[in-house]
Amino acid sequence: MARYGHRVLWVLFLSGVFDPMRFDHTIRDLEEVRRVYSLWGRHPRLYAAQDWITFMGRHRRIREGAVEAAAIQPNARVLEVACGTGRNFPYIEDRIGPGGQLVGFDYSHEMLAAARDFGMRRGWSNIEFVQGDAAVLDVGSQPFDAVVSVLGISAVPDHLAALRRCRDILRSGGVLAVCDARLFSGALAVFNPLVRTIYGRGAAWNPDRDLPGDMRRVFGNVSVTTYNRGTLFVAFATK
Ligand SMILES: C[S@@+](CC[C@H](N)C(=O)[O-])C[C@H]1O[C@@H](n2cnc3c(N)ncnc32)[C@H](O)[C@@H]1O
């Protein structure tokens, strides 16, 4: 077998199943996520301020729209993937109430620490915090009623694996709602190189992914609502 081992690896490499470069990219990208969000997590007020720019003043309406799309019922068990500093928690908590359960999942220890502080200040005792890579999404085996992710999936290096894991951990009939951003179209597209650079470096954002398309591929269905001239969208898919 050892004699043929390298040939097997070559076949896997050429077929794209085993790609050491890709694996290396993922590690480096995660390192970038760690670096970028370590800074934002230590300055949650600054992070809150940039929200206004990112959502062009409509952060409440659009975050609410993402949570609404997840069809969350009272007492539901909800996972927020890439929860950051917890800016969607108020909308989720409003829906699940004290009898519900919320798991806030993020790769950045600093973002999670800010989310934990925020949750404690608001007196929510039904939130559990889990650190890890969304591509692995190690959150136990108890299924969730809904999964929400706002401006998170586009920053996850292996976002397809993350979408598959979201599907796996949902109960049958459960909903994944994803809110994310797109580049400008039309005349405003002249600003795209600038937007790409600022949000690429400052937020590990990757605008080249077709998240609704990928959700359709993973779930077999997707519905999309757009906001702010199509620069933000909420997509939801049902398992
Ligand atoms: C732009 S922030 C969004 C935070 C929050 N969802 C919000 O609405 O403000 C992106 C978040 O994705 C997290 N993230 C990026 N890659 C991740 C990964 N592979 N696994 C888990 N979280 C990740 C970052 O740590 C960061 O908190």
- Read off the pLDDT of residues 112-169 as tens digits, 9 standing for 90 and up: 999 999 999 999 999 999 999 999 999 999 999 999 999 999 999 999 999 999 999 9
- Please tell me the predicted confidence (pLDDT) of residue 14: 45
- Please tell me the predicted confidence (pLDDT) of residue 224: 98
- Please tell me the predicted confidence (pLDDT) of residue 10: 54
Q: Provide CB contacts within 8 A for 103, sequence distance 6+.
A: 77, 78, 79, 80, 127, 128, 129, 130, 139, 144
Sorting pLDDT into bands at 50, 70 and 90, what band is 5?
low
Ligand 1 atom closest to the CA of 135, numbered from 1: 19
Pairing relationship of beta strands 170-181 and 232-238 according to DSSP bridges:
antiparallel
Pocket test for ligand 1, best of 32, 33, 129, 158 (most atoms within 8 A of CB): 33
- Please tell me the predicted confidence (pLDDT) of residue 28: 74
Pocket test for ligand 1, best of 111, 112, 195 (most atoms within 8 A of CB): 111
- Please tell me the predicted confidence (pLDDT) of residue 69: 98
* CA nearest neighbour of 219 among 175, 182, 154, 179: 175
- Please tell me the predicted confidence (pLDDT) of residue 13: 46
Residue nearest ligand 1's atom 10 by CA: 152
| Residue 129: CATH number of its domain | 3.40.50.150
The answer to whether 232 and 180 have CB atoms below 8 angstroms apart is yes
Ligand 1 atom closest to the CA of 37, numbered from 1: 25
Residue 50 belongs to what domain range? Answer: 2-238
Would the pTM of this model clear 0.85, i.e. be above it?
yes
Distance CA 154, CA 231 (A): 14
Question: Has residue 199 got a pLDDT over 60?
Answer: yes
List residues near ligand 1 (CB under 6 A). Answer: 30, 33, 37, 82-84, 87-88, 106-108, 111, 133-135, 150-152, 155-157, 203
Distance CA 47, CA 138 (A): 26
**Contacts for 117-122 with beta carbons within 8 Å, 24 or more apart?**
117/44, 118/44, 118/85, 118/86, 118/89, 119/86, 119/89, 122/89, 122/90, 122/93
Average pLDDT score over residue span 66-83? 98
Domain count, the chain: 1
Question: Has residue 237 got a pLDDT over 60?
Answer: yes
Ligand 1 atom closest to the CA of 83, numbered from 1: 6
Pocket test for ligand 1, best of 28, 29, 36, 37 (most atoms within 8 A of CB): 37
